[in-house]
């Protein structure tokens, strides 16, 4: 090896840190590009889901109105509306109750939090 080919430790470390920075920047650029692409796909899907939900709400309202009209052939119209409204209120209350119970069972991602803390600690130890 020639004397010209030898580099100091600080030069080698600077090159290593520079290369690591370049790699990290490249990974960040790649992640941004992927996220941008996936966000565009998600936006298109969300538009279709929102449109479907709006039409579903209208359909549900019209079906409830049809139920009121159907019951009004047997009962007084105000009583038919009351029966359908009470039925929907019971369904809504039970769905809310089930949702609240399921929400109470949701826990924070403790394994992920622990591993992130371990990674941070490892990085701190490496930089000392």
* 3 or 74, higher pLDDT: 74
| pLDDT bracket for residue 96 (50, 70, 90) | very high
Shared-domain flag, residues 1 and 32:
yes
Shared-domain flag, residues 26 and 49:
yes
- pLDDT, residue 92, reads 94
Shared-domain flag, residues 91 and 60:
no
Residue 3: enclosing H or E segment and its boundaries? Answer: none
Domain total of the chain: 2
Shared-domain flag, residues 62 and 80:
no
Shared-domain flag, residues 58 and 7:
yes
Tokens found for residue 10:
């600080």
Shared-domain flag, residues 109 and 91:
yes
Task: List the domain range (segments joined by +) for residue 95.
Answer: 75-128
What is the per-residue pLDDT across 73-90, written as a single tens digit (0 to 9) for each?
A: 999 999 999 999 999 999
Tokens found for residue 96:
């809310």
| pLDDT bracket for residue 1 (50, 70, 90) | very low
Which is nearest to 71 in space by CA: 57, 86, 60, 59? 86
Shared-domain flag, residues 82 and 21:
no
The Cα 70–Cα 68 span in angstroms is 5
Mean pLDDT of 111-118: 79
């Amino acid at each position: 090896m020639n004397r010209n080919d030898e580099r100091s430790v600080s030069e080698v470390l600077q090159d290593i840190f520079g290369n690591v920075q370049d790699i990290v920047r490249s990974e960040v650029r790649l992640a941004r590009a992927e996220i941008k692409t996936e966000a565009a796909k998600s936006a298109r899907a969300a538009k279709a889901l929102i449109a479907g939900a709006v039409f579903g709400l209208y359909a549900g309202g019209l079906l409830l109105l049809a139920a009121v009209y159907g019951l009004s052939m047997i009962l007084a119209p105000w009583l038919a509306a009351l029966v359908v409204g009470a039925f929907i209120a019971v369904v809504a209350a039970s769905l809310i109750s089930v949702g609240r119970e399921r929400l109470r069972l949701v826990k924070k991602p403790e394994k992920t939090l622990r591993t992130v803390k371990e990674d941070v600690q490892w990085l701190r130890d490496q930089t000392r």
